[in-house]
Amino acid sequence: MKTIQGMSIAAAAALAAWGGMANAQTLRVVEVLTTNERTGLMEQIASEFEAAHEGVDVELVSVPWDSAFEQILTMTMSGQQIDVLEMPERWISTLAVNDLLTDLGPWLDEWQGADQMTEATMDFARIYDDTAYFLPYGYFVRAMYYNRDLLSQAGYDAPPETWEEFAEISRAVSEIEGKYGYCLRGSTGGFVGWWLAVSGMTGAESWFNEDGTSVFASPEAIEGIQMMLDLYEDGAAPRDSVNWGFNEQVSGFYSGTCAFMDQDPDALIQVRERLGDDEFATAPVPLGPPGKISPPIGMFGWSVPASSENPDLAKDFIGRLMEPEANLEWAKFIGIVPAVEIPEDDEYFNDPVYAGFFEELDSDQYNLVPWPAYLPELGEFFDVIAVETSQAALLGQMSAEELGQTWDEFLTEAQQRWMAENQ
């Protein structure tokens, strides 16, 4: 087995040239969520797969998450061999519309492990164009992590229930020397925080109205965007958080720099290694004036790109990854809700630290919604446009109104184009 870490665009080009010499039974697996712990578990599964398939060599390629979308698009568009690709659901539309993914439907119809998946997993596999372009391996639900000690130092004994309380406590914590209220994520993936603020203020359960116009230019949405900009401008978030991605945001929280962080359960791995369960907790994300909010439910899964040279072997590998015991171990290891049923006596997922996540799953005030993965423009918006424009706004180069209008124009055009072609 070969592992290639932190591949760049230049390395991808070199890999393409080298790929022509690769063994025909080389199974190239590309992962995009790259921590040492995750990669280590993948290497273990790959070694077991090699032992069970004589003559097969699994080559594991780890692409840095912050540049993964652009790199994967480059690799697939140029026809570079990828047999198994780890990807979020929001990339499906971009890749599928360019015929860069294979349909897993015929394999799923025959796969013996299909009846061990949850109903939601089999439904989400066909989230785009009713075609199984990927198989989800787990789900992310966003909750609010909070530092108990920092809240206590600021004079509060409970997490905020509303965005108004969140802003108040964040500013109070920021009065403590060297501390901040909110670990803002300004780089890739940071759009989730902006959506929570917009959904909280509007009560919107979707990005779009029935006529295809987006909700981002409404007065209530602008109020949510302005709240985020004010928190940054007022020093309630670290100045360099404008460039923070996942790792910087999580380390900002577990280091005690910030009191709050909106994150998925996968961040629990790093946080629990540094903080005791008595030092932090999770709560549902705050509510706005409408009294309801729609946190996103995201998902990652496995796909077989059209550039695969070993598609049947690739599906066998996905089947191995999705076996119930392996999927539960994988889910616990990276901190997600698994794609298979959770046993009732599972102590791990019954831990109180999951309270914030499961309260959102159980309460009618929280309407969990997937991203509009059917839009071919979703990946470009989420990972490029939203990042560049929100950073410009945080740096004072755009107003809240201009930011909301920019998002509204792009998304309304995309949604109405899709409606015209599909309704």
Full-model pTM: 0.73
Count of CB atoms within 10 A of residue 300's CB?
A: 22
> Per-residue confidence at 16, pLDDT binned at 50, 70, 90?
very low
What is the predicted pLDDT for the residue at 137? 94
Annotate 115-168 with DSSP letters as a single string.
GGB-HHHHHHTTTBTTB---EEEEEEE-EEEEEHHHHHHTT-SS--SBHHHHHH
Q: What pLDDT digit, counting tens, does each position of 123-177 carry?
A: 889 988 899 999 999 988 899 999 999 999 999 999 999 999 999 999 999 999 9
Residues 129, 134, 138, 143: is their CA dihedral positive or negative? negative
Nearest to 72 by CA among 101, 45, 105: 101
Q: What pLDDT digit, counting tens, does each position of 262-287 carry?
A: 999 889 888 989 999 899 999 999 99
Count of CB atoms within 10 A of residue 2's CB?
A: 12
For range 196-223, the mean pLDDT: 97
What is the predicted pLDDT for the residue at 20? 46
Pair type for strands 84-88 and 143-147: unpaired
Q: What pLDDT digit, counting tens, does each position of 26-68 carry?
A: 999 999 987 676 777 788 899 999 999 999 999 999 888 878 8
Residues 45, 47, 52, 53: is their CA dihedral positive or negative? positive
> Per-residue confidence at 21, pLDDT binned at 50, 70, 90?
very low
> Per-residue confidence at 14, pLDDT binned at 50, 70, 90?
low
Nearest to 201 by CA among 285, 299, 75: 285
For range 70-77, the mean pLDDT: 90
- Percent of the chain topping pLDDT 70: 94
What is the predicted pLDDT for the residue at 9? 44
Pair type for strands 297-303 and 135-141: antiparallel
What is the predicted pLDDT for the residue at 15? 53
CA 230 to centroid of chain Cα atoms: 25
User: CA triplet 293, 248, 61: central angle to 5 degrees?
Assistant: 100
What is the predicted pLDDT for the residue at 33? 82
What is the predicted pLDDT for the residue at 332? 82
43: three-class secondary structure by DSSP: helix
Lowest mean pLDDT: which of 291-300, 336-345, 386-395?
336-345
Predicted confidence (pLDDT) at residue 190 exceeds the cutoff of 70 = yes
What rounded mean pLDDT belongs to the chain? Answer: 90
Q: What pLDDT digit, counting tens, does each position of 344-401 carry?
A: 788 887 788 878 887 887 788 998 888 898 898 998 999 999 999 999 999 999 999 9
> Per-residue confidence at 6, pLDDT binned at 50, 70, 90?
low
For range 195-220, the mean pLDDT: 97
For range 192-212, the mean pLDDT: 96
What is the predicted pLDDT for the residue at 198? 98
Predicted confidence (pLDDT) at residue 24 exceeds the cutoff of 60 = no
Predicted confidence (pLDDT) at residue 10 exceeds the cutoff of 60 = no
For range 217-231, the mean pLDDT: 98
